[in-house]
Structure 1
Amino acid sequence: MFDVFTSPELTNLLHSLNTEINLFTEIFWVVIATVLSMIGGAIGGMILAGKDIGYKFAATIGSLFAPAGVIPALILGLLMLNVLSNL
C-alpha cells in the first residue's frame, strides 16, 4: 500500500506537475481549478441566495456559473507562463 506513495513514477508525476508546462499539466490544472471553482460557487450561491430561491437550486446555479470565470483566467495564465518560460 505505501509503495504507491514512494514509487518513482508518482514522484516524477508530482514533480512534473509543479515544474513543467505541457499539455498534460495544463489539462490537469484546468480540471482541478474547475472542480474547486464549482465547490466555491456552490457555497457562494448558498450563502448569497439560499434563503430566496432554495439552497439546492442556489448551489446548482452557483456551481454552474463559477467555472465561467475561472477556466478562461486559468488558461490565459498557463499560456502566459508558457510564453514567459520560453523567453
Structure 2
Amino acid sequence: MEIDGIISAIFIGIIIGVLGRLVVPGRQRIGMLWTIAVGIVAALIGSALASVLGVADTKGVDWIEWLIQIGLAAFGVTALDRARTRR
C-alpha cells in the first residue's frame, strides 16, 4: 500500500469510526481516539473483505463496501466498549 492509500485509509477510517459509533445504540465509554482507531482497522479489513467478495471495484460509490466497513466498525466499538466496561 502506498502512502496516499494509507492517508486515505486514515481519513476514511475516521468517517467509518464515527458512523459505526452512531449506529450503536446507547452511550459508549470509549474515547474518540479509540473510535478512530477502530474505524481505521474496520476500513482496512472491510476493504480487504469487499475485495475478496468482489464488490470493491464497482462503478460509482461502493455502497456494499461502505456497509461492510460500518458494520465492522460498529462491531469493534461495541466489543471495545464491553471490554472496557468489564474492567
TM-score, normalized by length of structure 1?
A: 0.48
Of Structure 1 and Structure 2, which has the larger fraction of its residues in helix?
A: 1
Higher relative contact order (CA 8 A, sep 6+): 2
